Amino acid sequence: MALRSVISRRLTKMSWCGTRSVSTWWRNVEPAPKDPILGVTEAFLADPSPDKVNVGVGAYRDDNGKPVVLECVREAERRIAGNLNMEYLPMGGSVDMIDKTLKLAYGENSDLIKGKRIAAVQALSGTGACRVFAEFQKRFSPDSQIYIPVPTWSNHHNIWRDAHVPQRTFHYYHPETKGLDFASLMDDVKNAPSGSFFLLHACAHNPTGVDPTEEQWKEISYQFKVKGHFAFFDMAYQGFASGDPEKDAKSIRIFLEDGHLIGCSQSYAKNMGLYGQRVGCLSLVCEDEKQAVAVKSQLQQIGRPMYSNPPVHGALLVSTILGEPDLKELWLKEVKGMADRIIGMRTSLRENLENLGSPLSWEHITNQIGMFCYSGMTPEQVDRLTNDFHIYMTRNGRISMAGVTTGNVGYLANAIHEVTKPT
């Protein structure tokens, strides 16, 4: 038996070999660099030190440093488990989920929604929404570029690059003030050719935590009107920034009031804690219902050869939570709770650093908003934090405040002080 199989294996190898020598197709494949953000968590997990702290990836943690499944989500899971079928969603995704999601961004009583002027599809969280938009932009505005703020979430660059849309940058963060470089931002907006496409973070800018004020947003909106620019909002943190989803959507509402036909990416990864479910929405405001129907149909054509239709489970959770009044109320409470804890940690980290006698200014920690704090530390300082103190963060000095707890804030402050104090 064994002999026969050896012989037959030899024979099949020979018949395959034929005149070809054994070769590999992938000899030339280089190992890819690790993702700068997700690679941090990999390194953290591999570290055996009991003191290790992960302030890398932007995933919320409770005060014990544990991931959180919101109560409203657990309850929604219980209500839907085993009850429904798992049929394909329509190509554009769950109509009910989209409906409720648009209301969050555009307002409960939005005329645009009532007038059916918004083309919207369910997307694979924020990444998926941005990618489908980028592909759509390439297809229907093939000569356009995308203006991306400096700095931004690193994956934004990958997304528009893979969609083959050329990129340009605009000024955003001011390293000296650790705030917004508003003057340069406005210059870039004015100097860009009319009708340019801009990527804007609706609130809680990632990675800096620096947002324009309401007044500044109004000026930006006005200048966009003058130049006829297209505004694409990436809103990944609605509710997470201030604790109030309505307040966090202010920038978008300002643009809508000014009549802009915006695009918007929404994600439920952070504000509903649905990270791994990959639930989000891409919407484009159109001139009328007919155009919205056409645009939606074209968005679907992009999704179909990518994944056919989006996953049902996360969408069901969102629909259930937003659709049942008791769950929606619970969600709003829990989102505020998360935002408040982060704001508390900002205060605590800053106080700790000041009490340690750090001569540097740390007020940007409490000025910035949302999940991230752009500490201003250099890559070398970050490396020291990792190597000497087992603290993991991205090398641009971005701290995920969600990873800070009352248990580790002292340790973290001390370590930061050690690596930043003048020698």
Respond yes or no: is residue 234 known to be catalytic: yes
Shortest distance, position 247 Cβ to another protein, whole Å: 18
Helix, coil or strand: residue 201: strand
The catalytic position among 181, 188, 211, 234 is 234
Q: Which C-beta is closer to another protein: that of 83 or that of 423? A: 83
Neighbours of 9 (CB within 10 A): 10
| Contact present, 79 and 421 (Cβ < 8 Å) | no
Shortest distance, position 225 Cβ to another protein, whole Å: 5
Tell me the CA distances in angstroms from 364 to 258, 268, 361, 406, one per residue in order. 31, 27, 8, 20
Shortest distance, position 38 Cβ to another protein, whole Å: 6
Q: Which C-beta is closer to another protein: that of 37 or that of 365? A: 37
Q: Which C-beta is closer to another protein: that of 35 or that of 351? A: 35
Nearest CA among 72, 44, 58 for reference residue 331: 72
Helix, coil or strand: residue 174: strand
Shortest distance, position 109 Cβ to another protein, whole Å: 12
Shortest distance, position 354 Cβ to another protein, whole Å: 29
In whole angstroms, give the CA distance from residue 170 to residue 181: 10
Respond yes or no: is residue 270 known to be catalytic: yes
Neighbours of 139 (CB within 10 A): 12
Tell me the CA distances in angstroms from 186 to 144, 174, 204, one per residue in order. 20, 13, 19
Q: Which C-beta is closer to another protein: that of 61 or that of 341? A: 61
Nearest CA among 245, 307, 249 for reference residue 93: 307
The catalytic position among 100, 178, 250, 270 is 270
Tell me the CA distances in angstroms from 327 to 36, 273, 316, one per residue in order. 36, 14, 13
Q: Which C-beta is closer to another protein: that of 39 or that of 344? A: 39
Respond yes or no: is residue 227 known to be catalytic: no
Provide the token pair at 354: 């000041």
Catalytic residues: 153, 234, 270
